[in-house]
Amino acid sequence: MVSERMKNRNLPYGYAFIKGRIAVQPQEQAIVTEIYDSYLSGKSLLNIASELNTQGIEFLPGVIGWNKARLKRILEDARYLGNETYPVIIPTKTYDAVQKMKDVRNTQKDIDRKADIFQIAVPVICPICGSEMRRSSDKRMKCNQRWTCRNDDCRKRIAVSDEALLGSITELMNRVIADLEMICIPKPVDQEPSKELRRLNHEIERTLEGFSIQKETLRKQLLQSVSLKYEGIDNAVYIAGRLKADFANASPLSDFSPELFNRTVSELRLCENGTVVLIFTNGQQIGKEQYDGRCSSTTAEKSSTKNTADR
């Protein structure tokens, strides 16, 4: 029996010559059925191959070598449906269900994970509930790409192509590059020294007025004072200044720039009509509908307040 199978391995897996006729090979038939059932349960070809190899299931006598290509051929082989030459191994309903699932899974094939859309490193925010959204792609849809809210109570979906989304982002970025006054630089906020800093300054004064100055004590006091002063600095001005410098050093964009985008934007908010609003690192929001070409004092004050609160 083994020699017959080895000599006739050109037959599809699951069949063998028995008494001069092509017949079902029971052990292999069970494996073919298991492969179809496993695939329909959601297992990947890689996982199925790994399980068969681990179980020691032979593809050929003495050969354990399951891989994705072999499994793919089995899942696509219409001879398992039966014809004048081959007996039935797989019911038509099961075979059709596998082909449909393969088509669905293939909508994600050939995805270039290095494409610009996958370089967006900031959260994309739902306009309805404020939760984060995730991107999906389906070539069967008129608009292949869509974003879906991760919040199960919301699940808002917005269909917008990668090209349109990146184009909207690039347009807004170019507006800022062309008009740096859109970046709001808040007025520095004068802050009274904290109680702890005033206390420490008095201690430093007493240390300096003493007859014998303890250098190590003074050094520690000065370092602590500098640290407290640094913590009290209003960093809103610094963040806005750095943001403005990033755009000042950028040339007009012909394409989406992941580097500039991820350096200057903290959130991307999708609108229901597919347009976008950029939330910059200074808390300022800029979108196509609200663009007025200049920074208002109100916006600057809000930006300063937000960054102060963030600390």
77-92 pLDDT, tens digit per residue, is 999 999 999 999 999 9
Same domain, 84 and 6: yes
Determine the Cα–Cα distance for residues 246 and 150; give it in Å rounded to an integer: 32
Number of domains in the chain: 3
**What pLDDT does residue 9 have?**
53
| C-alpha distances out from residue 302 to 172, 175, 187, 239, 305, Å | 21, 21, 11, 14, 5
Same domain, 24 and 96: yes
Write out pLDDT tens, residues 235-271.
778 888 899 999 999 999 989 999 999 999 999 999 9
Same domain, 240 and 270: yes
Residue 270 lies in a domain: yes
Same domain, 250 and 303: yes
Question: Looking at 86, 106, 126, which one is the last position of a domain?
Answer: 106
Evaluate if pTM is beyond 0.75: no
Question: Looking at 106, 131, 162, which one is the last position of a domain?
Answer: 106
- Tell me how far apart the terminal alpha carbons of the chain are, to the nearest angstrom: 78
Same domain, 98 and 209: no
Band (102; pLDDT cuts 50, 70, 90): confident
pLDDT at 292 over 50: no
Handedness of CA 232, 310, 249, 285 (dihedral sign): negative
CATH code where residue 53 lies: 3.90.1750.20
Band (294; pLDDT cuts 50, 70, 90): very low
Of the ranges 3-17, 83-97, 185-199, which one carries the lowest mean pLDDT score?
3-17
Question: Looking at 47, 75, 106, which one is the last position of a domain?
Answer: 106
Same domain, 37 and 90: yes
Domain residue limits at 142: 116-187+236-310
